[in-house]
Structure 1
Amino acid sequence: MKFQLFSVYVDDQDKALKFYTEILGFVKKIDMPAGEFKFLTVAQAHDPDGVELLLEPNDNPIAQTYQQALRKENLPVTVFGVDNVQEEYERLKGLGVTFTQEPTEMGPITVAVFDDTCGNLIQIAQSS
C-alpha cells in the first residue's frame, strides 16, 4: 500500500491552481470537468507520477466548517517537507506569501506556517 492522492479543500480552484503551481512550484497533473467544478490535481515537479494533491472545492457545509475550524485554531491542514525551511520561507516571502508562523525550531524539526490564499494554513517542515 502507498499514498497516491490526498486533498485540501479550497475556496477557488483556479486561484488554488495558480498558487500551488506558480508560487509553490507544483505541476498540474489532472484538470478535468466534474460537474460545476473540476477534478484538479497537482504533483511534485521532480516526481510528476508520484503522490498527487487534489484541490478539492469546499462547496459543502461540512468542508467549509472543517476548513474554517482549522483556521480559527491556527492549525495547518497539511505539512509539506522542504530541505531548508529558512530558505523556503525567504523565497515564499519574496513572492508575497503571508506567514502566520516564522521558522521555528521544535526539537529535531524546524517549521513555518503560511496562508495558501484559498482558505488553508500549510506548514512546511525540515527534519534536522
Structure 2
Amino acid sequence: MLTKVMYVTVYVTDQDRALRFYTEQLGLEKRIDYPGPDGRFLTVGAHGHPFEIILWPHAASAGRPGEVAGTPGPIILESDDLKKDFEVFRSRGVVFDRPEPEAYPFGIRIEAVDPDGNRVSLRQQTPLGGDQDD
C-alpha cells in the first residue's frame, strides 16, 4: 500500500540557479544537498511539511515535449494567501503566465516558471462552499 508521496523530480540545467529560485524567490527551504556517486542529490520543501522536490540535473531538459496550455505544472504548491504570496514572488522576480491569479472551480491559481522553463502551479483552495474573492 502506498502511504505518501516522497519526492517529485524537476529536471534543471543548473542546480545552483534552481536552488536560488526555489529558496530565495519561492521561499522553500533546502533539505538535502548530497554529492552522491550518481550526481548531486538536491531537494527543497515547504517548511514544516515532509514532501520534497528533487532538483535533478538533466542536460537535455530543453528537449522535453511541449506542454498543453492550462495543464498544471509538475509541481503544485498550495498557499494560504495566494494574492499576497503572488505580490511577494513577483517582487522577487518570479515570472508568471498571467498578470494576476485567477479564479477556478476550487479556488484561485496562477502558474510560475522556473529558470529552466518548468511550470510551477500555485494554488489557494477555497473551502467547500467558500468564495474565491475573499
- Give the aligned residue type for 2:81: N
Aligned to 1:87, the other structure's residue is in SS state: helix
2:91 to 94, 114, 119: 94
Which residue in 2 is equivalent to 1:42? Answer: 44
Rg comparison, structure with higher value: 2
Matches of 1:20 and 1:29, distance apart in 2 = 12
2:22 to 2, 13, 20: 20
Which residue in 1 is equivalent to 2:122? Answer: 124
Structure 2: any 5+ residue segments left out of the alignment?
127-134
What TM-score do the two structures reach when normalised by structure 1?
0.83
Matches of 2:20 and 2:90, distance apart in 1 = 17
Matches of 1:2 and 1:77, distance apart in 2 = 17
Whether the aligned pair in 1 keeps the contact of 2:8 and 2:75 (CA below 8 Å) is no
- Give the aligned residue type for 1:92: F
Structure with the bigger percentage of strand: 1
Aligned to 1:20, the other structure's residue is in SS state: helix
Aligned to 2:90, the other structure's residue is in SS state: helix
Matches of 1:12 and 1:109, distance apart in 2 = 33
1:85 aligns with 2:115: no
State the identity %: 31
What TM-score do the two structures reach when normalised by structure 2?
0.79
Structure 1: any 5+ residue segments left out of the alignment?
none
Aligned to 2:76, the other structure's residue is in SS state: strand
- Give the aligned residue type for 2:124: Q
